[in-house]
Structures are given as structure tokens and as C-alpha cells.
Amino acid sequence: MSSVFESGIRVRGWKGYTALILLWQLTASACFYSVYAVTPFVREEFGVSATLVGVMMTALTLGYTVFLLPIGSFIDEYGEDRALVGGLVGLGLGAVGVTVAPTYLVLLASVFVVGAFYATAMPGTNKAVFNAVPDERLNTSMGIKQVGVTAGSGISSVLVPWFGATRFGWKVAFLLAAGVAAATSIVFWASYDAGGRGSDGGRDGIRARLAEPSYLLLIAAGFALGAGLFTTVGYTILYVDEAVGASVVVAGVTLAAAQVAGSAGRLAFGWLADRLSAPLTVSTLRILCLQAAASVVLFLAVPFAGSALTGLVLFSLLGFFILGFTGVYYSCIGSIVPSEEMGSATAGAQIALNCGALIAPPTFGFLVDVTGYDAGWTMLAAMAFLGFVFLVVLLRRT
């Protein structure tokens, strides 16, 4: 890390690299999360049930998950810069594919492609942070970088419903995202020069990590919390539209507010982790326990949202905690693995989050179709509580 730091960080400083990585993450997330924001229009245009909406999100997450380990290993061995540039190009192409899908099955294939190229995001950007940022700023930089996820999702949750409600149509929003992805890939290719090279850690790193109880407990917690994160993002618009009774535009604003709150949470908790006197692993685990416990309470409170304003407040609070945990989560991962294995270790951690996302959204949709939304939110509260238990066990071990 030191040689990369000396060769690249003097050119622009850690703030400049953080801003560049943030730009990449924001653009990529806007493409990826546009699929979540388009759910009401997919349901109308293709005539599918809430369960099949969940299947679409599962296809998106499946593409993301299948390619995480190969891409994480590639990044550890060859560097993150080429993977990140190629990822943006592929995301743009996938977004275009969504707009021309003539059937629901072709739509599933297109969103699978979007997910596959988004697999470059977490291994690549996390490795970039660890390569370009000094240790005393890691949590702050990681939190700033993670704001790109919630900000990109927030932008898509406003623009896709807005375009969909106008004469332009939702497909224009996807084409706009594709154009921005192409432009950002050029900027990143021309500007980024802090990438690491030549490590063999990605080949055996994940196998070594899976033999460690601490890593297993942390990714088990990630599985449980990831279920809540992705399902919240995927069903907020539908819930506010169908159960609360607000318009789809107001529902999109509610999701955007949750994402803004999630961005604030990532910044606040990252800043806090850098300033606590405890060791990094302990401080991040304490914060994660707080986030998981608060999420349990808020998931149980969501069914009581009887108005658009109440829903806005509850989802904003929920966003602050359940959408705000990932920056600290990745910092905790980084505190227990060697930096040269950050790509593959992050890939394993992200797979855990994604596995929760593969199972929870269609299960949530099934509960909605059979019983109602109350059962779905209760299921997410139970998952968050399970994550809390794993984190407490790990904290006691630590």
C-alpha cells in the first residue's frame, strides 16, 4: 500500500481520490438502483405480480452475486482500475438493454447483465480506498464513498418515477443513466492512477477467510442486514403507493429521503468510527450493533405509517440505520483482513449481503400477496434481530 500511496497520493491527495471514487460509485449505483425504482412501471407494462417483481430483483442480485468472487480475485491480482472502467461501460450497456426488452424474460436477462457489471463496485472501490487513503482517514473516506450508493439510488428513485409520470417515459431515465456511465468511465480512466498490482492474495484469500470464525460471523450478520437493506430499497415505492395510498411520485420522494438519510448515516457513523478511542474492529462492531438494534424497532414501526408524512419520517429513520450500515461494515471487514486481500474479502462479504437480497425480496413479495405488508415488515425485523445476535457474539469474542 505504501508504494502506491507514495506514487499516486502526492498527485491529488486523498480527498481528490475520494471524490473520484465517489463519482464512480454514484454513477454505477444510479444505473443499478434504477431497476428498483422502475418496479411500478414494470408491474404495469408487463402485467406481473408482486412476487414476479421480487423475481426481477432476484435476477439483478443474482448477476451481481455470481460475478463477485471472480471479479474480486481479478482485482486483487491485476488491480482495480481496469475492472472499474469496464464495469461502468457494462452498466451503461445493461441499462440500454432494459429499455429495449420486449418481454419479461428478456427484461430478466437485461437486469442480470446490470447486476453482473455492478459486481465491480464494492471490491473495486473498497480496494481503491485502501490504496489511496491513509489509515487515519479510512472510515471517513469509506463513508463518503458509500454515500455514492445511497445518492445514486436516491437520484434514480426520483428521476425514474418522474420521467415515468411524464410524456418522456421511464426509458429516458435509463438512457440518461447509460450516457452518464459512459462519460464517467472516460473521466475515471483518464484520472485514476493509484491502483495496486501484482498480489496473489485473491487466489487463496477467500478460502483462508472462510476458515476464520470472526469473518464468518461478520458475513452472517451481513446476510441478515443485507436482506433488510435490499428489500427496503426494492419495496418502499410499492408500499407507499399501495398501502399508504400516496402517489408514485411521492413514493419515489420517500425512497429518495430514505437514501439521503442513509447517506447521512454512512457519513456520521464513519466519522464516529474514526474518532472512537477503541480499536477499529471493536468500534465498528459497536456501531453495527446499534444500527441493527435500531433497524429491528423501525421495521416493526413501518406498518403503522398511516399517512405519506408518517411514512416519510419512518423510512427516513430506517434509511439512516439500515441503509447507513455498509460503510462501517466494510471498514470492519478491512480491520480483520490484510489490505492486499481486500478485493476478495469484500467480494465474500458482499456475497453475504446479496444472498440476503436473493432470498428476502421474493419472500417479502410472497408474504404481501398472501397475507399483507405487515407480515413482510415483521420478517425483516426478525432478520435484523438475527444480524444483531451475530454481531453481539462477535463483539464478545473480540
Nearest-angstrom CA–CA distance, 49 and 227: 20
Query: CA gyration radius for the chain?
Result: 20
Q: In this predicted model, what pLDDT tens digit does every residue of 350-366 receive, in sequence order? A: 888 878 877 888 899 89
Cβ neighbours, 10 Å, residue 352: 23
Q: In this predicted model, what pLDDT tens digit does every residue of 195-233 receive, in sequence order? A: 655 454 444 556 666 778 888 999 999 999 999 998 998
Q: What's the structural domain count of the chain?
A: 1
Range of the domain at 219: 2-397
Helix (H) or strand (E) holding 192: none
Q: What pTM does this model have? A: 0.73
* pLDDT greater than 50 at residue 5: no
End-to-end Cα, the chain, rounded Å: 26
Q: In this predicted model, what pLDDT tens digit does every residue of 285-329 receive, in sequence order? A: 999 999 999 999 999 999 998 899 999 999 999 999 998 898 889
Q: What is the DSSP string of 135-188?
A: GGGHHHHHHHHHHHHHHHHHHHHHHHHHHHHSSS-HHHHHHHHHHHHHHHHHHH
Helix axes 81-100, 68-78, angle to 10 degrees: 150
Chain centroid to Cα 257, Å, comes to 16
pLDDT at 28: 95
pLDDT at 394: 94
Q: In this predicted model, what pLDDT tens digit does every residue of 124-174 receive, in sequence order? A: 888 888 777 776 777 788 888 888 887 887 788 788 888 877 778 888 889
**Pick from 325, 283, 16, 348: nearest CA to 150:** 325
Contact 379, 277 (CB under 8 A): no
Which stretch, 60-64, 277-281, 379-383, has highest mean pLDDT?
379-383
**In this structure, what are the phi and psi dihedrals at residue 371, rounded to the nearest 5 degrees?**
-115, -45
CATH value at residue 150: 1.20.1250.20
